Structure 1
Amino acid sequence: MTVVRPSVSHSGYAQTIDGAAVFSEASYPVINPATGVPFADCPSASKEELDRAVAAASRAFPAWRDADVQVRRAALHRFADAVDAEQDGLSAVLTMEQGKPLNRARDEISRAAEQMRRLSLIDMPTETLQDSAGRPFDVQYRPMGVVGAITPWNMPIILAMSKISHALYTGNTLVLKPSPYTPLATLRLGQLGIGIFPPGVLNVLAGPDELGRWMTEHATISKITFTGSVRTGKKVMASAAETLKRVTLELGGNDAAIVLKDVDPVAIAPRLFAGAFVNSGQVCMAIKRLYVEAPVFEPLCAELARLAKEVTVGDGFDPEVTMGPVQNAMQYRIVHEVLDEVLRDPQAQVLGGTQQIPAQGYFVAPRVIAQPAQTSRVVTEETFGPLLPVLKFDDVDEVIEKANSTRYGLSGSVWTGDLARATDLAQRMDVGTAWVNHHVGSDPCVPFGGTKESGIGRENSLLGLRHYMEPHVVSVRPL
């Protein structure tokens, strides 16, 4: 069928600095991954514009810090309402620049707004503790100042809204940089904040990776929050160390899901498939390795292969499409490099991928890969695309060791009707989050983050909010 794309502006995108729209002299093209060709121009911030944004955020900080928490909460709720009201326009831009099906883009917008509302309802109390002599003292948590936030291209709006929520609700001000691959919908967020937040509280700039480096090096930015790859996260941390910036890093994962033999393969296959192939496999917490106990290995592989063949891959504006493209040319090449290695593996069986896909754009049909080599890239690395390795096991202790034998430690899951056994196995997984009988998902009330090279710090919940604040001890004794 002919795909009808809504009208999306080719130009006119502005950055937000000090409560005003700023049109930069420099720009760069943004590519639609469904076509592989540019569709819009994005402003590219200069170092001088970054300095202006940071200065504005610094000026706005004292008043925003001292504002009553109810005032900050009300502003965030008004902002969430404004985002909801612009759902149609935002989702169209998001699908055009990211590639996900339009209904998935709409869902991302609405979930982002709702999570902002819920996070900003969490109470942030002062703690009263006792010293070794039993004397009370208070631990207050105070905002840090100017926060620099850098977001990725896979879930641009929900991750931008999360960082806005954490930073502004805790009394910080913010300079936000989206991925250069998916900047446009996030720039719209900045414009929606004008008139809701005081000037300088929310600043949104776009640009290439160099802009991110300027932010991590900037002496006036007190904290960097970054979501993205392990490789880039290490660079962020090294750069931030020069000024001892506080950092929150939510990095990649190579999540293992362990399926025990008592499950019904037909019943759980759709949930496992969704956990692996959501957003074309481009989710940090998606299932990247599936370990299946031998008695149910064959039937589960067959069911997953059937589901893979039923996926409709194509342009996200086609209402019949259920899986969009890989987001950018670089990631497209990585996925194909990994797939080419799998196709050369004599012991691996590639299932799915039989449907026709558009010749233009960064499309990859979903594949289920049965019994690849344990040392192959599809098993040991985070492919970040629609490839799912499925490996057979007989010994539970051995599979826990394999699940943990990775530099990643973001999340994982165990699938079985025996909840006591599942809980024991989940507790043995070396990850930040271990699920039982579900996989993928975040809740504003539940802390999320990784161990090992999957990150530092947590987001969501009171614990996550306090990663955006400094503890301040007040100890009072009578004369």
Structure 2
Amino acid sequence: MGLDWKVFQNTINGKQETTQQKRHGVNPATGENGPEVPVSTKEEVDRAMKAAADAFESWSEVPWEERKKAVLAYADGLEAEKENFAQELTKEQGKPLAFARAEVDAALHWIRTVATLELPEETVTEGDKEIVVRFTPLGVTVGIVPWNFPIQLAVGKIAPSVLTGNPIIVKPSPFTPACGLKLAELAQQYFPPGVVQGLSGGDDLGPMLTSHPTPAKISFTGSTFTGKKVMESASKTLKRVTLELGGNDPAVILDDVNIDEIAQKVAGLAFLNSGQICIALKRIFVQESIADKFLEAMVKATKNFKVGPGTEPDVYLGPIQNKMQYERVKGFFTDIEKENWKVAVGGKNPDGPGYFITPTIIDRPDENSRIVTEEPFGPIVPFLTFNTDADGIKKANDTSMGLGASVWSSDLERAAKVARKIRAGNVWVNAHLELDPRFPFSGHKESGIGSEWGITGLKAYCNTQTLYLKRKE
């Protein structure tokens, strides 16, 4: 049964419903209003929580294989709606349509891969004693989803939660509510009422969910600042939390790389999704001996990236997703003159409608400047240098964040030695951003707590129970 893409409502206890007050997102490429969506109140939250708690009693008892079948059927349902989701994603998030389709494909891959994972009981027998370790469902979970990848990151919470026996309430970002609401609506065709619910709202909805006594776990993806607020709220009832937060990812480029090839890759990874990726490259460190040539090649590659509405062909950078973030990113451009930064490419932004930012590289700013120490979350990056490998490692680690990093070299052994000394949860050699749902994704330092995905991520949705069984008295 197809979805109606003209109506966007909450999903509570298996039913679609709206609220007295409404709001809407904004198409960041045009400034036009998006579809009307509900503004949930405490009354909607309480009813969704009760429905989820009731659903937990039965869903947690459904055998793993049956839950797996439902998850895989959900993936098939999403695939049937792939183009509708992609089109809506480009409208509300702004990313080019090719990348929107790629996000839906990634979401399908995530669901189907997570469904192949298992958490069998672990048994040890010693004489007349048997010890069994079980992984049992936690209870109701809340998935708080950001606006940069609203489909992939939503299903990255939905699939492991329901697979492990936990009903989930999904809260999409107020900036990108439409796709998240449709993911919850679609789920009603495959899961019993209350197992997957979706609530849209304003800035007060997140605190209502995190402070509510019912949930056993909050899975949050977003900024470090908000993540700390989520943890503070969850601590009052000792809810479990998984926090995937900001990053200030370094690329450490060693002096033995193929300059033209790697410069093009690094530029593409820095400006992908207009820099609005928690693990996008945010600080480019290049060994001094090749720095000038590498910068020249990066500039050449960057000039070829087309900026524009995501509906136009060959666009690589769509708009910044929302006005608040647009103004924040523009603040870094204001600093160019104030801080006397040298602009290697970009530096001027287009006039007209839409939150468009020109991809910009700042050539060797002071390493204590804001462009180096903060995460812009937009298409502006500092180009920096280092001398020895040890110097590169030290500079890469000089941040309070530790989400991702990459090392680039034609000598794998040398690169791996550097990579092992980077303090981040995800480190690539000769690649970046290549995630795999079979393996844990987590941040070090202020980039997060706990893990998403992989077996470790599944266990984060479970309590561990140890049974000590004695055969006789």
State the TM-score bracket (shorter-chain normalisation). Answer: over 0.9
**Separation in 2 of the partners of 1:136 and 1:373?**
62
Aligned equivalent of 1:377: 370
1:77 aligns with 2:72: yes
RMSD of equivalent CA atoms: 1.8
**Separation in 2 of the partners of 1:436 and 1:43?**
44
Contact residue 349 and residue 356 of structure 2 kept, 8 A: no
1:294 aligns with 2:288: yes
Contact residue 313 and residue 357 of structure 1 kept, 8 A: no
Range 235-244 or range 311-320, more displaced? 311-320
Matched AA of 1:168: V
1:20 aligns with 2:11: no
Range 316-325 or range 362-371, more displaced? 316-325
1:126 aligns with 2:121: yes
Contact residue 30 and residue 181 of structure 1 kept, 8 A: yes
Matched AA of 2:49: V
Gaps of 5+ in 2: none
Gaps of 5+ in 1: 1-7
Range 254-263 or range 27-36, more displaced? 27-36
**Separation in 1 of the partners of 2:245 and 2:404?**
11
Among candidates 396, 400, 403, match of residue 403 of structure 1:
396
**What's the CA shift for 1:303?**
1.2
Among candidates 320, 329, 335, match of residue 326 of structure 1:
320
**What's the CA shift for 1:37?**
3.4
**1:456-471 to 2 correspondences below 5 Å:** 456-471=449-464
SS of the residue corresponding to residue 204 of structure 2 reads helix
1:415 aligns with 2:415: no
**Separation in 1 of the partners of 2:79 and 2:361?**
36
1:427 aligns with 2:420: yes
Range 282-291 or range 398-407, more displaced? 398-407
**What's the CA shift for 1:467?**
0.5
Among candidates 86, 91, 104, match of residue 109 of structure 1:
104
What does the per-residue CA deviation read over 1:210-255, in whole Å, with 9 as the maximum and x for residues that have no partner?
Answer: 1110111110111100000000000000000011000000000000
**Separation in 1 of the partners of 2:34 and 2:141?**
31
**What's the CA shift for 1:39?**
2.9
User: Please, what TM-score do these two structures have when normalized by structure 1?
Assistant: 0.95
Matched AA of 1:217: S
Percent of aligned pairs sharing the same letter: 41
Contact residue 11 and residue 42 of structure 1 kept, 8 A: no
**1:79-478 to 2 correspondences below 5 Å:** 79-129=74-124, 136-346=130-340, 348-353=341-346, 357=350, 359-477=352-470, 478=472
User: Please, what TM-score do these two structures have when normalized by structure 2?
Assistant: 0.96
**What's the CA shift for 1:10?**
9.2
Contact residue 345 and residue 373 of structure 1 kept, 8 A: no
Contact residue 134 and residue 466 of structure 2 kept, 8 A: yes
Contact residue 10 and residue 39 of structure 1 kept, 8 A: no
**1:15-94 to 2 correspondences below 5 Å:** 15-94=10-89
**Separation in 1 of the partners of 2:184 and 2:266?**
36
SS of the residue corresponding to residue 476 of structure 1 reads strand
**Separation in 2 of the partners of 1:96 and 1:285?**
23
**What's the CA shift for 1:446?**
1.2
Range 411-420 or range 335-344, more displaced? 335-344
Matched AA of 1:384: F
Aligned equivalent of 1:3: none
**What's the CA shift for 1:356?**
7.6
**Separation in 2 of the partners of 1:198 and 1:39?**
30
SS of the residue corresponding to residue 141 of structure 2 reads strand
What does the per-residue CA deviation read over 1:190-217, in whole Å, with 9 as the maximum and x for residues that have no partner?
Answer: 1111121101100000111211101111
**Separation in 2 of the partners of 1:136 and 1:416?**
51
What does the per-residue CA deviation read over 1:63-114, in whole Å, with 9 as the maximum and x for residues that have no partner?
Answer: 1111111111111111111111111111111111100001111110111012
Distance 1:335 1:130, change over 3 A: farther
**Separation in 2 of the partners of 1:239 and 1:130?**
42
Distance 1:180 1:109, change over 3 A: same
**Separation in 2 of the partners of 1:290 and 1:322?**
20
Contact residue 116 and residue 165 of structure 1 kept, 8 A: yes
SS of the residue corresponding to residue 118 of structure 1 reads helix
SS of the residue corresponding to residue 53 of structure 2 reads helix
SS of the residue corresponding to residue 396 of structure 2 reads helix
